[in-house]
Structure 1
C-alpha cells in the first residue's frame, strides 16, 4: 500500500515507557523511563504519527498517566492518538483540547456504543475505536476480560457512526514478534468501510513489505512496538520501502 502509516507505540505504565507480552502487566519490560524523550526519539527518526496507550488507565477506567501524556504532547509535533481509560465525554474532550489528535475508545465501545457515536458526532475525524481481540472475541478492561462480542460485530456496529479509524489488535501476537495477523485484520477491513490500522506482532521489515502488498491496500497502517525498541525494525529502511512503493504507484 502506497500510503501506509507506521505508528510507533508508547505504552505507559507507572509513568514509564514499557512493552508487555500479550497484554500481561506482569510481563512489562521498561524501555525508557522518560516517555517524552522516547517520543522525541521517534520524531527524530522521521515518524509523524504516534500511538500512545495509558495501560494503567485501561485497567482503572480513567486516565492514570496524564502527566506523562502531557509531557509527550509538549515534546513533539507528531500527530498523537491516545487510548486507555477513555470512558466518558469529559475525558475525550479533555484530551482533544490538550492536543491529542485522535482519542481511541476501546472498552466503552463494547459497553456504551452510543457514547462512541456521540463522540464521533461532536469530534468528526478525531475518534477511533480500539478492537482488541482474543480468538476473535473483543477483550475489555485492559484485556483482563473477554466479552461475547466478535471483532467483526463490533466493527460493523460503528459502520455509520463517523468513526475515523479502527485499531485492530490480535492479543495473541502482541509483544511476541510473530508478525501481524494480516488475515484477521483484512477480514475486518473488508467487513467495514472504516479505515483499519493493524496492531500486534509487527516484527521486522518483512511485515512492512507485507503491508505494501496489493491486498493490504485497504489498511490504513500498522503499529510498531517492540520491534522498534529492540532494533529489529530499522525506521530508515521502512521509510525507504514505503517511499519506493509510493513512487511506484505515482
Structure 2
C-alpha cells in the first residue's frame, strides 16, 4: 500500500482544512516546495497535491506553487482541484504531473473523464468525495444524491488509474479513516482505491493495509503534527 503525503494549497500556503471548511484552515507552512522536498527526502514514493482555491473557483489558482513543487521533486506527483477541461489536463501533464485527479467533472461531465483516460493512459484518477456515502462536488460545497459505489462503477471500464475516496466528515479531523466504506468501495470495483480523510496514526494505516484491497492512503495533518512519522510509516508499510 502506497502512502501519499498530502500538500493542500490555499493562497500559496500549505494548509489543512477541518471537514472541508475553507474557513477552518490551519497553515502549516508558506513554502510548499520545501515541504515537498521534506517528504521526498523522508522516502515518499508519491505526493498528493490539492489546489483548494481551484476546487472552489473551478480553475487552477495555486499553479505557481504546484509548478515550484514539480521543479524541485523527482518523485511522481498527483494533483486535484479545479481541473475541469481537456486543455487543463493536458497542460498539467505537460508540466510534469504524473496524474491528474478529476472530481467535480466526474459528476458533471463523465464523458470528459472517459476521453481523458483514453487520451492519457494511467494518468487520470477520479476523486470521489462524500458525506454519508453521497458524492459532493465543487470543493465539497455542493452535495448530490449520487451513491459513491454507483458512480465509481460507471468508470470501471474507462481506463482510469485510480479512485481516490475521501470521507469529508473525517478529513482533517484526526479521528481515523472510514475503513469500512473504503474497503467496501475497493471490493466493489476493479480499480485501485486510495483512502483519504482522517488517516491519523500508524494503526489507521495498518487497518487500511490489512484489508488487502486498498491500494493507497493519503495523509496530511498527521504528518505535519507528528502523529505519523513518515519515515517509520513508509518502512512499516514496505515490510
Query: Normalising to structure 2: TM-score of the pair?
Result: 0.99
| 2:219 pairs with one of 216, 221, 224 | 224
Match of 2:107 in 1: 110
- For 2:209 and 2:116, the matched residues in 1 are separated by 32
| 1:79 pairs with one of 68, 76, 79 | 76
| 1:31 pairs with one of 25, 28, 33 | 28
Aligned residues: 239
How do residues 26-175 of structure 1 correspond to structure 2 at under 5 angstroms?
26-175=23-172
| SS of corresponding position for 2:215 | strand
Please give the root-mean-square deviation of Cα atoms over the aligned residues, in Å: 0.7
| 1:180 pairs with one of 137, 158, 177 | 177
| SS of corresponding position for 2:37 | helix
Gapped runs of 5+ residues in structure 2?
none
- For 1:211 and 1:148, the matched residues in 2 are separated by 27
Match of 1:193 in 2: 190
Runs of 4+ in 1 over 6 A off after TM superposition: none
Gapped runs of 5+ residues in structure 1?
245-250
- For 2:73 and 2:236, the matched residues in 1 are separated by 25
| 2:15 pairs with one of 11, 15, 18 | 18
Measured against aligned partners, the alpha-carbon deviations of 1:167-203 in whole angstroms (never above 9, x if no partner) come to 0000010000111111000111111101000000001
- For 1:186 and 1:209, the matched residues in 2 are separated by 13
Measured against aligned partners, the alpha-carbon deviations of 1:120-141 in whole angstroms (never above 9, x if no partner) come to 0000000000000011110001
Query: Normalising to structure 1: TM-score of the pair?
Result: 0.94
- For 1:242 and 1:115, the matched residues in 2 are separated by 35
**Deviation for aligned residue 1:79:** 0.5
